[in-house]
A and B are shown apart, each in its own frame.
Chain A
């Protein structure tokens, strides 16, 4: 079963994502955003970059790309969806994930390595992460400050939808509420995170921790719904 990686105009991590899926043992197909179906993929990745130039707000225009109808249908059928960085922003704008990504409170584009605590390992996105293992992944974003009103954050945490948090020694790089770096939707089948697992999928890049997330996704596809 293959993974669909969507390329929006302005995506720039799409080929990295295809490469990382290959390292994780599955085939990936690059899909232009004007496609209206996912070509039978078992999972879909919305990669990092600056879809549609990030005009208006990051992800705001990408939400209307034709492929997003197929992504919505895929998610509604219980299919796996992973949004990385800009892909996370697209998923929040599309209403497939809760919250919003605001400009970093540091006033800067943050481009560096961070440490991530994995809050749950019983998910399709994290089951290959060994118990007690944190992840070293790179970030590269100007708008990664996760926001939800406090009451909604309480509900999100109570439902176990916070999947990744920024952890010491580097800590929270962007002012995200409660150090949140990645969340899932209510079904646990749609996930978004700001750090880039596909940029840390082999040791020559400084870390292969990202491969644990890619492997989780690929291995979870066998039990997943197949897209139309």
Chain B
């Protein structure tokens, strides 16, 4: 068995209100960054999985993401192997 490291990025789905992103964007003019738009705030989860190979490890992460880490009704996610 090998240990595989992943990160899962979870974001609000398009069209879903993102008040955090809106609040961050509203503060930007105070920094002189008024040219920055379309701010969205999500979260990133990093985890290690013990598995026989990378596809098997990724399948575990995919399942976890759909069942727990994200709420598929309002969020989407992407999985990245990080080591």
Contacts and interface: CB of A to CB of B under 8 A. Distances in A.
Interface of A: 56-57, 60, 93, 99-100, 102-107, 145, 147-149, 175
A93 to B, nearest CB: 7
Give the secondary structure class of B's interface.
Answer: helix
Nearest to B70: A57
A8 to B, nearest CB: 17
B1 interface: no
Contacts of B68: 56, 60
Interface string B58-70: 0000000000110
A93 B71 contact: yes
A100 B73 contact: yes
A60 B20 CA distance: 19
A57 B17 contact: no
A173 to B, nearest CB: 13
A147 B19 contact: no
A102 B19 CA distance: 9
A107 B71 contact: no
B16 to A, nearest CB: 7
B73 A103 contact: no
A102 B16 contact: yes
A107 B22 contact: yes
A105 B19 contact: yes
Contacts of A149: 73
Interface string B40-72: 000000000000000000000000000011010
B34 interface: no
A151 B77 CA distance: 23
Contact of A99 (B17, B23, B73): B73
Contact of B74 (A104, A105, A107, A147): A147
A102 B22 contact: no
B19 A100 contact: no
Which of A93, A102, A105, A145 has the most chain B CB atoms closer than 10 A to its own CB?
A102
B36 to A, nearest CB: 18
Nearest to B15: A149
Contacts of B74: 100, 102, 147
B73 A147 contact: yes
Contacts of A93: 71
26 contacts: A60-B68, A60-B71, A93-B71, A99-B73, A100-B71, A100-B73, A100-B74, A102-B16, A102-B17, A102-B19, A102-B74, A103-B17, A103-B19, A103-B20, A104-B19, A105-B17, A105-B19, A107-B19, A107-B23, A145-B17, A147-B16, A147-B73, A147-B74, A148-B73, A149-B73, A175-B17
A40 to B, nearest CB: 31
Given A99-B73, A105-B19, A107-B22, 4 more contacts: A100-B73, A103-B17, A145-B17, A147-B73
Contacts of A147: 16, 73-74
